[in-house]
Structure 1
């Protein structure tokens, strides 16, 4: 028989022998009633879970404005409610029986309570891992290992998992190594996630760092911490990563041709963060899209318009295309309004009234005085342009234009300035005849 298969057979037999001995020990008369008591507590815990889960959900819905971590805690608590009730009832039963009987007669209750406490700790600790797959692997792997250690199966389980192996030349990959790598990596990722949150809060709270550099610093911190957690996790369990260098180079060449756009967007995103041409909160125009930047991503920029639409614009378009940044160097924006008045009105008075009307609007800046000029003599009116400045383009442009137009309307109406509309006069020349054709009515 193949030595590898023989190792698996021997490890399996050792595990089965240990399991058989454990089951025989449970069938002893002095332990059967403890097993029955544990089963009864478990069934009662499952019955008690239903009303408690409803009350917990009702309490959570009654408290509005709960933060995300509080909602996750409620969900995790609800999912582990049966185990929590079982552990509490088990320890209460153990404490009560320890007052009236020998410790050896309630030994299984103590073991079951210890397993319950450890599994609860593992389940709640695993939720700190953001990745769902790693969280489940840590939950099941660490939970299984805790039970094996408490029941005395650890040596046999380790031998069995170590026997499940695949060999690549001198490299031997076992199931035990894979599980260890996933558990260690998951714990390191959880630690990196907590450090990233703390660093993100510190970076965003530093007013001396520009918004674009804040995003770059956060992305670099995430890359360093999560990459380091992955690397250290694999090295900690004995993975040899030197062979991955050649493989990653070959894969990189192959993916480079198929992911040109993705790589271009990634590089463009780094350039945008470094040159500070665009940052969160800026108001930009790109083609027909006008809005403010909500977030800078690795591949795209999120732009939110005034009507609530969110456009995900690739970073490459912002580098290669023409972008109007209304708040690049400062937030001062000049707006132009065109209007016309009748030829009978005094243009000097019109200019004066237009400037006063603009200054009466809240968002119009007074330190940068509006100006009004004649731009032409139209068919029906004298045409003017009114120019004024604002310092908050993120609050909208259409609304401020509308407010200034209303102020012009009210001011002109109060001072007798008329806003003409196109009119046409039809004259009948002398000596010409005007004839009309009567319509016949059809019945």
Structure 2
């Protein structure tokens, strides 16, 4: 290679890149202003775009009807179809331009379809980028990804990637053996974005696969999903470090020292993480269980790495640290099974036959929805004592769906008892007090005697 052609400084790199841009821009200007096939290609491109728009107007209703009829398709395929329908003009333009470009390459001189090939390449890249960008959920990151890929596609179409890459690689910082260039940073950012998107898609696919496997318990499903997530995102982190040029062995001691310091400062966080792993492994609680912890009663919505999400009947969502579930007493209403026994206390008058009261109460509770009957889940009613103004009873019955609430089923049973006792003439007494007013003279005499 001629040594005179090798750039000796960043200024030379910049000048080479500007020269490359100027050359390509001048060539494009000549393609436009020079009479002949160059201008014909521009007219052909405009005609193809108008034809693509016309095809969209004519065929979009049919495509809409065909897409709506695909009821059995998965959601990702339907979303892709919606994205294509929103860019139907661009889709038709890509198909028409490539078809015409391939035909002209075989029947005429290649230079007569050069501009059509560039526009077809750019249109295809823009369509692909628009579809792939939907995988990035964050709106800001999606815009950055779109603009970066559009710029890169434009450089590829104009054959300017080598000049730009050479310039970006020259903008660098060197510390010993470490060489960090702007090109390396951009590659790392792009790689991290792609890998993070793939990691998120892979994690969700693994979660759906584990949830559909009935042979794996819910706790193990969460544990395996978290393990896969840690492995995937850990691999992304290591790939990012390697892409930037850092030596992993060189930062091992530094990371160990930082880890010790973080361990002392984040004891609670580490404790919650370890407690979460213990909960998942011993399967003491799992998603869907109904638990009581202090004044909180609800069902477990999700198991996180640091906390457990518990949703109550009033719609509140409590984020309980995993350590509290390990160290405190937790009532799991559905640990081994979902059958829950409820006790209701009530009293009737001494004038009512206890045998009749018990039979009426059992018959009334059996008529309530959600109450189980038969076998060991048969409702029972027992006398618990003789009170000051009533005979006291306890009514015991079973339900199998505590997630639907306990207060509402108790209220329905009380209402059924009220209706049944009204029909049978059974009274529910209440404490009565008798107040006696003494004559005024008697009051004065009583006070004098005292």
2-structure distance, mates of 1:159, 1:31: 34
Matched, 1:223 2:225: no
Residue 180 of structure 2 contacts residue 245 of structure 2 at CA under 8 Å; is this kept in 1? no
SS at structure 1 position matched to 2:196: helix
**Residue 22 (structure 2) aligns with:** 20
2-structure distance, mates of 1:230, 1:139: 23
| Deviates further, 223-232 or 337-346 | 223-232
C-alpha deviations, 1:106-165, integer Å up to 9, x for none?
Answer: 421221111221232233234335566665555444443333233221221121111011
- TM-superposed CA distance for 1:282, in Å, is 0.5
2-structure distance, mates of 1:75, 1:91: 23
Query: Structure 2 vs 1, CA of residues 133 and 165 (structure 1 numbering), >3 Å: closer, same or farther?
Result: farther
**Residue 12 (structure 2) aligns with:** 10
**Residue 331 (structure 1) aligns with:** 338
Give the number of aligned pairs.
Answer: 428
2-structure distance, mates of 1:394, 1:114: 57
Residue 286 of structure 1 contacts residue 322 of structure 1 at CA under 8 Å; is this kept in 2? yes
SS at structure 2 position matched to 1:330: coil
**Residue 367 (structure 1) aligns with:** 375
**Residue 407 (structure 2) aligns with:** 398
Q: Which TM-score applies when normalising by structure 1?
A: 0.81
Counterparts of residues 232-311 of structure 1 (less than 5 Å) = 232=239, 234-235=241-242, 238-311=245-318
| Deviates further, 34-43 or 281-290 | 34-43
C-alpha deviations, 1:55-85, integer Å up to 9, x for none?
Answer: 9xx99xx99x998646864785588678657
SS at structure 2 position matched to 1:424: coil
- TM-superposed CA distance for 1:98, in Å, is 8.3
SS at structure 2 position matched to 1:270: helix
2-structure distance, mates of 1:397, 1:183: 53
- TM-superposed CA distance for 1:355, in Å, is 2.6
Query: Structure 2 vs 1, CA of residues 419 and 67 (structure 1 numbering), >3 Å: closer, same or farther?
Result: farther
- TM-superposed CA distance for 1:299, in Å, is 1.9
Residue 345 of structure 2 contacts residue 393 of structure 2 at CA under 8 Å; is this kept in 1? yes
Point out where structure 1 has 5 or more consecutive residues left out of the alignment. 435-443
2-structure distance, mates of 1:198, 1:67: 13
1-structure distance, mates of 2:157, 2:212: 46
Residue 359 of structure 1 contacts residue 366 of structure 1 at CA under 8 Å; is this kept in 2? no
C-alpha deviations, 1:376-402, integer Å up to 9, x for none?
Answer: 322321111112222221122122212
2-structure distance, mates of 1:343, 1:137: 81
2-structure distance, mates of 1:410, 1:315: 45
SS at structure 2 position matched to 1:265: helix
Query: Structure 2 vs 1, CA of residues 231 and 127 (structure 1 numbering), >3 Å: closer, same or farther?
Result: farther
Residue 138 of structure 1 contacts residue 182 of structure 1 at CA under 8 Å; is this kept in 2? no
SS at structure 2 position matched to 1:394: helix
Q: Which of the residues 214, 218, 236 maps onto 2:221?
A: 214
The alignment yields a C-alpha RMSD, in angstroms, of 4.1
Q: Which of the residues 200, 211, 214 maps onto 1:204?
A: 211
SS at structure 2 position matched to 1:166: strand
2-structure distance, mates of 1:161, 1:412: 88
